[in-house]
Every structure is written in C-alpha cells, then in structure tokens.
Structure 1
Amino acid sequence: MAPARLLGVCSLLCAWSVLMGHPCSLDLHQGWANCNRKNLLHAPSSLPRNITSLDLSFNSLVVPHHGTLLMHFSSLHSLNLSSNALLALGPAVFSNLEALRLLDLSSCSIAYLHVDAFKGLGNLHTLLLRNNNLQELKVPFFLPLKALFHLDLQHNELVSVNTLNLQLMEAVPQVQLEGNPWVCDCAMQPLQQWLQRRQAVQVTCASPPGLRGWEVAALDSQDLGCQTKQRFPREASTVQQITVTQSNNTTLPSGKGGRSWTYLVGFLVSAIGISILITLAAKCKLFHKHFASYRHRQLPETSSIGGCPMEDDSGESHPMPGAADLQAEDDDGFIEDNYIQPSEQLSEEEERELHLSI
C-alpha cells in the first residue's frame, strides 16, 4: 500500500510541475530542486520558496550587473551555478542568501570578481571557484567570508598571491591552489613559505621553463632568484658590517676566500717591521753624527807643548811658557786638532834659538 501511495505522490508532483510551467525536478521532502541542463536564462520563479538546495548548473543564466540573482530563495543552504557563462560577478549578487553554506561557481569563465561580490555570505562554508579565468584576488574579496572553511581556486590564471591575501587565507583550513600558472620568482617567496606551513597543498611552477613542474614548497631562495642579505646582531659595530659587506662584494679565487685574514695580518706585520727598521736606521745615523762632532784627539808625547819640561844643551830645564794655563783650560789631556796656531809654533822656535845663543 505504501509503494502505491508514494507512486501517487510522485505523479502528482510531476503533474503539478508541468502545470506550474517549470521543468525542474523537485523533492519537497528533501527540500531540493534540480534544474540542470534546462537551458534556463533565469531561475524559475514558480519554484517553492522554502527549498534549501538548488541546482542550476549547465544553463545559460544571465547575472544582473546590480541586484541579487535569486531574490526569492533566502532559505537556500546549497547553490550550484557551475558551467554557466557568468563572466563577471557584480556587487552583492548573493546578498540575500544569508543562510547559504555551499556555493559552486566552477567552470563559469569568471574573470572578474567585484570586491563586494560575496557580501552577505557570512555563513558560507565552502566556495568552489575552480576552472575559471581569475588572474588576481582582491583583498576585500575574503573579508565577508567569516565562516569559510574550504576554498577551491584550482585551474585559474593566478600567477601570484599578495601577502595580505595569504594572511587572510591563513584562517581558511582548506585551500586548493593547484593548476595555476605560477611564476616562480623572488615574489613567490611569501607563497612558498605559506605552502611550507600548510604541508598539504601541492603547487607546482609553470614558469620559468627551468622550474616548470617543480613544487614551489621544495624550492629555496636561490632557485627563486632571491639575493640573500646577511643580517648582523644589534651589538655588531658599523665597522664590522662594512668589512663583511666589502668582503662579500669582493670576488676571490676559489679556495682562498677563507684565508684572506691571514694575508691581511701578514701585510700589517710587514708594514710595522719596515717602519721600525727605518726609524732605527735614522736614529743610528743621527747618533753617529752627534758622536763624531764631539770626538777628541790626545796630544802627542813628542810635541813641543806638553806636561814635560824641555831641556837645552846646558842641561837646564825650562818650563814651557803658558803650559800651566793650557793645563787649566783642558784638564783631560786632549786638544782639538786646530788648537795650536802656526804663529804660536814660530814663537817657540825663536825662544829656543835665544836660549842657545846664551
């Protein structure tokens, strides 16, 4: 009896659908309506207002530039709009669907998303945007999606994601980014670090050709073409930073870079040693000159001027005139070479001849 009643209910529903003028399949018990592949331009307004699931995939829906797409279905929890040529989504196009938890926009050729396209979807749990033509993600795009858990951005035209979007995506547990033409250069480093923290998303490079097919998370900064900067602790002096920077910028032969400090020490030691030798040589020369200026010569013993008395033929000794005075003037017995003048020597000879004549 029960199968007969169920068959009768289905027959009544089908008849009612035909009479109401829409081709969708309904299940009032489950609260869903299937309107896929019906070549629809708009959602049938004759559908029950209390349905919670609506499938409008594979149609030719026209999305309004302003206003909402589904005005009369505020109870929807699931909406499938995949494979419709939507191209662009205007502001607040889903604003009346506050209870929506799943939105499928896959394969809709979407190339533009207004920053307020998802305004009002504060309870959205899953957003599927794969197989579209998105080239960038604007920052406010994520702001209304407070409860987002799963985001699918596979197979779009994304080449990079800015740092602020990555920070917003940190709050989304499941994010799929595979299949985009990622450009693996130094600007990819924030995304690489983000992927390394996730450890579950497999994203590969599309360019440059040398990195095509490589996993972004497995690359290092040199592979991405980033120049590493050496950081110094705050206590490091400015002189140390300049020295290290200059040594990093200097190209050294291979195998000798680690011994450059020994060459520097050797050069300094050599310079100091040469300076000391030059200083000693100059001081020795000055000392020798100073010593030569004070050099004396001792008087000869046979000289006519000396400390011994002179004897004549008669055996008498006569003291040399002026000898006591000379001894007083020079007590050390030395006299300069030019101290005795020729005039003095001539006077002594005349005095000697005078004694002989007497």
Structure 2
Amino acid sequence: MAPARLLGVCSLLCAWSVVTGHLCSLNQQGWANCKGKNLLHAPSSLPSNISGVDLSFNSLVMPHHGTLLMHFPSLRSLNLSSNALWVLSPAVFSNLGALRLLDLSSCSITYLHTDAFKGLGNLHTLLLRNNNLQELEVPVFLPLKALFHLDLQHNALVSVDTLSLQLMESVPQVQLEGNPWVCDCTAQPLQRWLRRRQAVQVTCASPPGLRGREVAALDSQDLGCQMKLRFPRAVSTAQQITVTHSNTTTPPSGKGGRSWPYLVGFLVAAIGLSILIALAAKCKLFHKNFASYRHRPLPETSSIGDSPMEDGSGWDRGSSGRGGRESHPMPGAADLQAEDDDGFIEDNYIQPSEQLPEEEERESHLSI
C-alpha cells in the first residue's frame, strides 16, 4: 500500500512539473533539482513542502532586502554553491527556520553582514569554502546556536580575533585550512586555539621564512613575540636598551621561574633554626629552675635554739660515722656570735704600742 502511495505522489509531482513548465525536477524524497538552469531567481512554482533544493551553478541575484526563498517552511537543505552572490544581505534566510544544511561554497563572497544568518537557529552545517572572506565579525555566528560543522577552507583569512575564536569554541568541527595565515605575534590566539582543538594542516603563508609550517607547531620566538620588560624608575634609558637588546638576541634560559624552591627552603631552614633555639632556651631555663628547687631552705634564727640539733644527736651521728671521734655538743648561735665579736674586737682594737713590748721581749729571749 505504501509503495503504491509513494508512486502516486511521485507521478503527481512529475505531472505537475510538466503542466506548470518549470525547469526544476523533483525526486521521491521531495528534493528539487534546479542545478545549472541559468536561473536569476528561485522558481516560484516549486511546492512549499519540499525538503531540499539545489540551486547551484546558476546566476542568482541576491536581494538587497527581504528573503531569497519565499514560503518554504519545511526546507532542510539548500545548495547555493557556484553562484556569484558577492555579499549576503541581512536576514536573507530568516524565513528558513527548519534549515539544517546551507552550502555557500564558491560564491565569491567577500563580506558577511552581521545579520546574514539571522533566523537559522537550527542550522547544523554551514559551508563557506572557496570564497574571498578576509575577516569574520563576531556577531555573524551568534544566531547559529546549533551549528556543528563550519567549513572556512580556502578563503582570504589572514587572522582571526579572539572573540570570534571564543564563539567558534562551541562548534565541534571547524575547518580553517588553505587560508593565507600571517604568522606573526597576532597569530598567538589562533595558535592556542589550534592546539586545543588539535587541528592539522593549518599552515603559514607569510612571512616567507615560515611559509608551509604549521601554525600550532610554532613557538613565540618563531612568531617574533617579545616579552614586555618592566624597569624601575632608577634604571636609565641606556640600561633599558641594553637589557632589551640582550633579551632579543639571547634566548631565555628558562631558570627564572625555578627560584621559588630556594626561597621555600630558606624559609623552612630559618623556621627550624628558630624552633631549635627556642627549645634550647626552654631546656636551659628548665634545668635552672630544677636546680633551684633542690636547695634546702636555711633555718630561721629564732628557731635555732629549739631545733633538734642543740641536743647533739645529729652531730653524734655524724661523728660516729667518721671513725668514732669524741662527740662534742654543738655550740649555740649566741656563743658563736659572741666569739666572733670578741675576735673581731681583738683583731681590730689591740693597739700597736701594746704589741711592741711583747715583740722586744720575744727577741731578747731569742738572743739569750
């Protein structure tokens, strides 16, 4: 039943095309083939429910205002390759909300309006290869929320700004081969982007010394990028010129960023030494306090007479331990003080005149 119905629809479409007399042919999948018919405008006699149309190799004129195709809400594929379109006017595809594939290859496009792809929120594949695009403006890709494959091969792109590269980050497949890329310091964003995406065959076209080399494989020295040096105010201009010249002629050794381990080691050593000194001082103070606690307090003067030492028991124990010497009672504190006072008086208050007769008498006895 289904093949009979499909055959009937196909025969109906063929008969309708013969009756209306348009130059496009329709197939069973609802695809209109208008390739190479020297058309200036898209045929208005096409059915509105077609899913794809091939308008390649024609002489289509791009409208300055309005849309290129009218009333094709089910169109999912549009091939406009090999038409001299030159410039895409704003919102030229705005009525093709269901479009999934748009082929604009080899159309000699030199400029894309910022709203050229407005309304193509479901576009999956955009083919722009073999054109003359020299730059990509950032808002061009904003409406393409579902874009998966972007082909920009063999255009006239010499560089891409950072914002455009950020927008293209969300596109899984991007082809940039065959463009005359200028490999200077401005190509560093493109180089980083290519390294992240692991793209291949993106080569330099200029300068001549880097022609044919892959952009992702170059380093900052190859690109001619110089690091900006900051000098203190006290440094003279001649010294700045000398340092800058030495920096450009001599490649950096790469050891400047390795000084931090030495700084960390120095800090750790200083902290450890401080801890050892603090521990040593603390131990010394501890021994000093411990030694001070080992001394016995001296007995008070008022309690000497009443102490057990007056009865001589302690002295007797000490004497008996030294070989059985005769024990003598320890004199009291008052007697010791009196003897000391008497001796002090004798030593200090005997007059020299009293000592002279004794010395003369002593000498006389010696002479006899």
Give the shorter-chain TM-score range: 0.5 to 0.7
Residue type at the aligned position of 2:22: H
DSSP-derived class of the 1:95 partner: coil
1:22 aligns with 2:55: no
Residue type at the aligned position of 1:219: L
| C-alpha separation in 1, matches of 2:79 and 2:105 | 9
| C-alpha separation in 1, matches of 2:94 and 2:113 | 13
TM-score by length of 1: 0.63
DSSP-derived class of the 1:47 partner: coil
| C-alpha separation in 2, matches of 1:250 and 1:107 | 48
The CA deviation string for residues 223-261 of structure 1, in whole angstroms up to 9 with x for no partner, is 1111134699xxxx9999x9x978844759x99x99xxx
Aligned-residue offset at 1:56? 0.8
- Residue 202 of structure 2 corresponds to 203
- Residue 316 of structure 1 corresponds to none
| C-alpha separation in 1, matches of 2:142 and 2:5 | 50
The CA deviation string for residues 297-324 of structure 1, in whole angstroms up to 9 with x for no partner, is xxxxxxxxxxxxxxxxxxxxxxxxxxxx
- Residue 69 of structure 2 corresponds to 70
Residue type at the aligned position of 1:24: C
| C-alpha separation in 1, matches of 2:230 and 2:195 | 23
Aligned-residue offset at 1:11? 5.5
Whether the 8 Å contact between 1:192 and 1:217 is mirrored in structure 2 is: yes
| C-alpha separation in 2, matches of 1:3 and 1:114 | 46
Unaligned runs of 5+ in 2: 254-368
- Residue 135 of structure 1 corresponds to 134
- Residue 145 of structure 2 corresponds to 146
The CA deviation string for residues 178-213 of structure 1, in whole angstroms up to 9 with x for no partner, is 001111111111101110111124210011111110
DSSP-derived class of the 1:206 partner: strand
Paired residues for 1:2-81 under 5 Å: 13-27=13-27, 29-81=28-80
Residue type at the aligned position of 1:85: A
1:214 aligns with 2:213: yes
- Residue 168 of structure 2 corresponds to 169
For the structure 1 residues 3 and 120, does the alpha-carbon distance in structure 2 shift closer, same or farther, using more than 3 Å as the test? closer
The structure whose residues are more often helix, as a share, is 2
| C-alpha separation in 2, matches of 1:176 and 1:231 | 40
**CA RMSD in angstroms, aligned pairs only:** 3.2
| C-alpha separation in 2, matches of 1:94 and 1:188 | 33
| C-alpha separation in 1, matches of 2:205 and 2:161 | 18
For the structure 1 residues 127 and 3, does the alpha-carbon distance in structure 2 shift closer, same or farther, using more than 3 Å as the test? closer
- Residue 188 of structure 2 corresponds to 189
TM-score by length of 2: 0.61
For the structure 1 residues 127 and 231, does the alpha-carbon distance in structure 2 shift closer, same or farther, using more than 3 Å as the test? farther
Paired residues for 1:61-140 under 5 Å: 61-140=60-139
For the structure 1 residues 9 and 113, does the alpha-carbon distance in structure 2 shift closer, same or farther, using more than 3 Å as the test? closer
Residue type at the aligned position of 2:175: Q
The CA deviation string for residues 140-171 of structure 1, in whole angstroms up to 9 with x for no partner, is 10111111111100000110001111111111
User: Paired residues, what number?
Assistant: 251
| C-alpha separation in 1, matches of 2:145 and 2:3 | 45
For the structure 1 residues 104 and 231, does the alpha-carbon distance in structure 2 shift closer, same or farther, using more than 3 Å as the test? farther
- Residue 276 of structure 2 corresponds to none
| C-alpha separation in 1, matches of 2:141 and 2:21 | 39
Aligned-residue offset at 1:94? 0.3
DSSP-derived class of the 2:94 partner: coil
The CA deviation string for residues 23-64 of structure 1, in whole angstroms up to 9 with x for no partner, is 11112x412111111111111111110111111111111110
For the structure 1 residues 12 and 179, does the alpha-carbon distance in structure 2 shift closer, same or farther, using more than 3 Å as the test? same
Whether the 8 Å contact between 1:176 and 1:201 is mirrored in structure 2 is: no
- Residue 320 of structure 1 corresponds to none
For the structure 1 residues 96 and 7, does the alpha-carbon distance in structure 2 shift closer, same or farther, using more than 3 Å as the test? closer
DSSP-derived class of the 1:33 partner: strand
| C-alpha separation in 2, matches of 1:187 and 1:178 | 18
Q: Equivalent pairs: percent with the same residue?
A: 79
